[in-house]
């Protein structure tokens, strides 16, 4: 029997071939939606009935699309967060939902540190100036020896903390779920969110999006930060109130920000693009060759296990197996 697999992810199968080959070697035929095409809800509803499994990226998978599925046994997220998928609808339909947490954590942690260094040394504006024929004297600030505030000490937050130790930084963190053993080992202090914002020179966000974290960083929170502080959001765009961030940057309430995620992607016409102290990247935190290969293999193995009647790791709604 040949299983039909649909991938709507713009990255699965395009940069690492091993996951596709793995599926093909396990009686799976896979269709990849072209990278330059964003499949609409109507298009997905029209074709989803014939597939046994689905691989998705950051595109929205709605209740209507899930209800149109007839043979679907698993939705595999080619990444970690599943806030773009209607989990309740999938569970109600008896469809397993899995993700690949941790597979891209090194890639995301690397970019976090890279963005902080780019902000601190004004690398983007220096590059633009030199390309434009100028040779300015740009005076930045040092990253090492400062206070780093990490909002969310999960897998990515922990790897950011390890990297920060190499810069001799004092690390503060806020998280509702505490890993006291890790904090003791790495000299990290758990404090309140307000304390993280007040005391940190650099603040990075590594939390999932949910009702309690939507617009978590707004006008009040930004007003607590130091005027010389930098903010990096590499988690989800809706965690930061972009209007409040624009005002804070315009009024020099904080020194700069780097965003890899936005409330709307792509963020066409965002006023943040007019700010010289903003670095914008295209939700690329997880995109390294190594991370895409590892994430893809987690998805491919999970799909094969489900289709062969086994329970894979990283299933979010395990109640469907009861």
Reduced 3-state DSSP string for 178-227: CCHHHHHHHCEEECCHHHHHHHCCEEEECCCCCCCCCCCECHHHHHHCCC
Q: Is 264 a catalytic residue?
A: no
Q: How distant, in Å, are the alpha carbons of 4, 52, 185, 322 from that of 306?
A: 13, 10, 38, 14
* Confidence band, pLDDT 50/70/90 cuts, at residue 286: very high
What does the pLDDT read at residue 85? 96
Give the model confidence (pLDDT) of 87-124 as tens digits: 999 999 999 999 998 899 999 999 999 999 999 999 99
- Pick from 193, 195, 183, 191: nearest CA to 158: 183
Residue 307 has pLDDT above 80, yes or no: yes
Instruction: Single out the catalytic residue among 78, 206, 283, 301.
Output: 283
Local confidence band at 311 (pLDDT 50, 70, 90 cut-offs)? confident
How many other C-beta atoms can be found within 10 angstroms of the C-beta atom of residue 261? 23
Q: What is the pLDDT of residue 81?
A: 84
- The tens digit of pLDDT for each residue in 190-217 reads 999 999 999 999 999 999 999 999 999 9
Q: Which fold has domain 3-103+288-321?
A: Rossmann fold (3.40.50)
pLDDT surpassing 90 at residue 80:
no
* pLDDT greater than 80 at residue 322: no
% of the chain at pLDDT higher than 70: 100
Same fold, 3-103+288-321 and 105-280: yes
Instruction: Give the domain ranges of the chain.
Output: 3-103+288-321, 105-280
Please determine, for residue 72, whether its predicted confidence score (pLDDT) is greater than 90.
yes
pLDDT tier at 226 (50, 70, 90 boundaries)?
Answer: very high
Going from the C-alpha of 203 to that of each of 73, 135, 231, 265, 301, the distances in angstroms are: 40, 30, 5, 23, 36
The pLDDT of 24-53, averaged and rounded, is 95
- Which of 236, 242, 301, 305 is the catalytic position? 236
CA distance 93 to 36: 30
Distance of CA 8 to the CA centre of its chain: 17
Q: Which tens digit of pLDDT belongs to each residue from 141-155? A: 999 999 999 999 999
CA 68 to chain centre: 28
For domain 105-280, the CATH class is alpha beta
Task: Clarify whether 265 is annotated catalytic.
Answer: yes
Confidence of residue 20 (pLDDT cuts 50, 70, 90): very high
Residue 221 among the catalytic residues? no
List the catalytic residue out of 31, 251, 265, 290: 265
Q: Which residues pair with 36 in a beta bridge?
A: none
Q: So what's the pLDDT on residue 204? A: 98
The secondary structure of residue 2, as a DSSP letter, is P
């Amino acid at each position: 029997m040949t299983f039909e697999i649909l991938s709507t992810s713009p990255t699965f199968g395009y940069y690492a071939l091993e996951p596709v080959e793995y599926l093909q070697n396990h009686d799976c035929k896979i269709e990849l939606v072209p990278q330059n095409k964003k499949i609409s809800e109507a298009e997905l509803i029209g074709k989803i009935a014939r597939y046994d499994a689905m691989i998705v990226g950051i595109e929205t998978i709605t209740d209507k699309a899930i209800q149109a599925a007839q043979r679907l046994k698993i939705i595999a997220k080619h990444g970690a967060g599943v806030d773009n998928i209607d989990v309740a609808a999938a569970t109600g339909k008896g469809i397993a939902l899995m993700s690949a947490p941790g597979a891209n954590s090194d890639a995301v942690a690397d970019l976090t540190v890279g963005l902080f260094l780019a902000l601190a040394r004004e690398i983007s504006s220096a590059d633009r100036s030199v390309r434009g024929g100028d040779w300015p004297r740009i005076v930045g600030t040092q990253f090492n020896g400062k206070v780093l505030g990490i909002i969310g000490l999960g897998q990515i937050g922990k790897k950011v903390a390890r990297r920060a130790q190499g810069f001799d930084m004092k690390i503060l963190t806020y998280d509702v779920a505490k890993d006291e053993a890790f904090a003791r080992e790495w000299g990290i202090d758990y404090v309140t969110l307000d304390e993280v914002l007040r005391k940190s020179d650099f603040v990075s966000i590594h939390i999932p999006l949910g009702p309690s974290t939507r617009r978590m960083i707004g006008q009040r929170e930004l007003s607590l930060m130091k005027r010389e502080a930098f903010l990096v959001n590499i988690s989800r765009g809706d965690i930061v109130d972009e209007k409040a961030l624009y005002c804070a940057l315009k009024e020099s309430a904080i020194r700069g920000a780097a965003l890899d995620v936005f409330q709307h992607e792509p963020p066409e016409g965002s006023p943040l693009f007019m700010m010289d102290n903003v670095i914008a990247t295209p939700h690329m935190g997880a995109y390294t060759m190594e991370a895409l290969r590892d994430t893809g293999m987690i998805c491919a193995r999970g799909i094969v296990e489900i289709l062969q009647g086994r329970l894979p790791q990283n299933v979010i709604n395990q109640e469907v197996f009861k």
